[in-house]
Amino acid sequence: MRCRASLALLLLLAGCGAAPRELRVCADPNNLPFSNAAGQGFENRLVSLVAADLKAEVRYTWWAQRRGNVRETLKAGLCDVIPGVGSEVDMLATTRPYYRSAYVAVTRADRDLAIRSFDDPRLRTLRIGVQMIGDDFSNTPPAHALARRGIVGNVRGYMVYGNYAQPAPQADIVRAVARGEIDIAFVWGPVAGYFAQRQPVPLRLTPVAPLDERSDQPMAFAVSMGLRRREPQLKAELESSLDRHREEISRLLAAYHVPTLAQAPRLDDD
């Protein structure tokens, strides 16, 4: 009897392996092309790729991308990683960048408006769309560049957060170009590339210079995964995984029509 009990205990212990590792991720549930709750964004797929490489299961905390979200999620301990953050943000540790993109000018292909500079004189008469973050349209780099040149009255703002009650709230500015409501829009590259492919008319994406010298505003930014500064081991693991899968990441970005630029070296790169 005692032997049978011991055998049962051994079998029970053998079946109780260590709990699977978790990669706790905070992401926006309605922020295509980056992420959504259905896992359709390219950041969702990137996270799945990295988690599989680290033999971890992804556990999401869904949180709208708003001001203060880092403080309320990562720094509050709700997750360990936020994908898709600017590589130079000072409130987080960030991995080496896994892509670099830029703002682009979005126009209808049938308008023949390949505008590459904020100094183009046509911008003084065209209907222009810019992305906004707050309640003042002058808070994105293209808006600063336009305002520096006195181009304000013919500018219309579109919230980066958009109408959150609708799916894909960032699409509105690109749709406005396709519908002819505005003539040109200056849009963050991944948003422009993804939604331009989903319009009923052909759109043209024209890169602007990575730096606007008159306003001293950068138009190109590197993107990383963000995490707490006190976790160097996790940072090293994430960077190693991103390095191992660079080719797959490049194919993933191309599938989502993300315009990418050559990486600029970071000061803390090895």
Eight-class DSSP state of 122: G
**Residue 269, domain member (yes or no):** no
Mean pLDDT of 118-135: 92
Judge if 151 and 247 occupy the same domain. no
pLDDT bracket for residue 12 (50, 70, 90): very low
Judge if 113 and 76 occupy the same domain. no
Judge if 73 and 117 occupy the same domain. no
Residues 97 and 89: their CA atoms lie apart, in Å, by 12
Judge if 130 and 194 occupy the same domain. yes
Which residues contact residue 14 at a Cβ distance below 8 angstroms, ignoring those fewer than 6 apart? Answer: none
Mean pLDDT of 77-83: 95
Phi/psi of residue 241, each to 5°?
A: -65, -45
Among residues 140, 193, 148, which one has the least CA distance to residue 171? 193
Q: Could you read off the pLDDT of 14-23 as tens digits, one per residue? A: 445 667 899 9
Which residues contact residue 172 at a Cβ distance below 8 angstroms, ignoring those fewer than 6 apart? Answer: 158, 162, 163
* pLDDT at 18 (0 to 100): 65
Residues 149 and 214: their CA atoms lie apart, in Å, by 8
SS3 261: coil
Q: Could you read off the pLDDT of 39-77 as tens digits, one per residue? A: 999 999 999 999 999 999 999 999 988 777 888 889 889
Is the pLDDT score of 11 beyond 70? no
Q: Could you read off the pLDDT of 216-254 as tens digits, one per residue? A: 999 999 999 999 999 999 999 999 999 999 999 999 999
Judge if 163 and 116 occupy the same domain. yes
* pLDDT at 8 (0 to 100): 47
Please give the angle made by the CA atoms of 22, 28 and 34, to the nearest 5 degrees: 95
**Residue 157, domain member (yes or no):** yes
Please spell the DSSP secondary structure of 169-229, one letter per residue: GGGHHHHHHHHTSSSEEEEEHHHHHHHHTTSSS-EEEEEPPSEETTTTEE-EEEEEEEE-T
Residues 68 and 151: their CA atoms lie apart, in Å, by 31
Q: Could you read off the pLDDT of 130-155 as tens digits, one per residue? A: 998 865 555 899 999 999 999 999 99
The single-letter code of the amino acid at 26 is C
Judge if 150 and 249 occupy the same domain. no
**Residue 262, domain member (yes or no):** no
Judge if 162 and 244 occupy the same domain. no
Looking at the structure of the chain, the number of domains it has is 2
Radius of gyration of the chain (CA): 22
**Residue 8, domain member (yes or no):** no
Among residues 150, 155, 142, 152, which one has the least CA distance to residue 217? 142
Judge if 146 and 248 occupy the same domain. no
Mean pLDDT of 81-93: 93
**Residue 82, domain member (yes or no):** yes
Is the pLDDT score of 264 beyond 70? no
| CB burial readout 223-236, b (16+ within 10 A) else e | bbbbbbeeeeebbe
Judge if 145 and 211 occupy the same domain. yes
The domain in which residue 43 lies consists of 21-99+221-255
Judge if 214 and 133 occupy the same domain. yes
Judge if 130 and 213 occupy the same domain. yes
**Residue 11, domain member (yes or no):** no
* pLDDT at 163 (0 to 100): 77
The CATH number given to whatever domain includes residue 226 is 3.40.190.10
**Residue 131, domain member (yes or no):** yes
pTM of the predicted model as reported, rounded to 2 decimal places: 0.88
Mean pLDDT of 156-163: 86
Judge if 86 and 51 occupy the same domain. yes
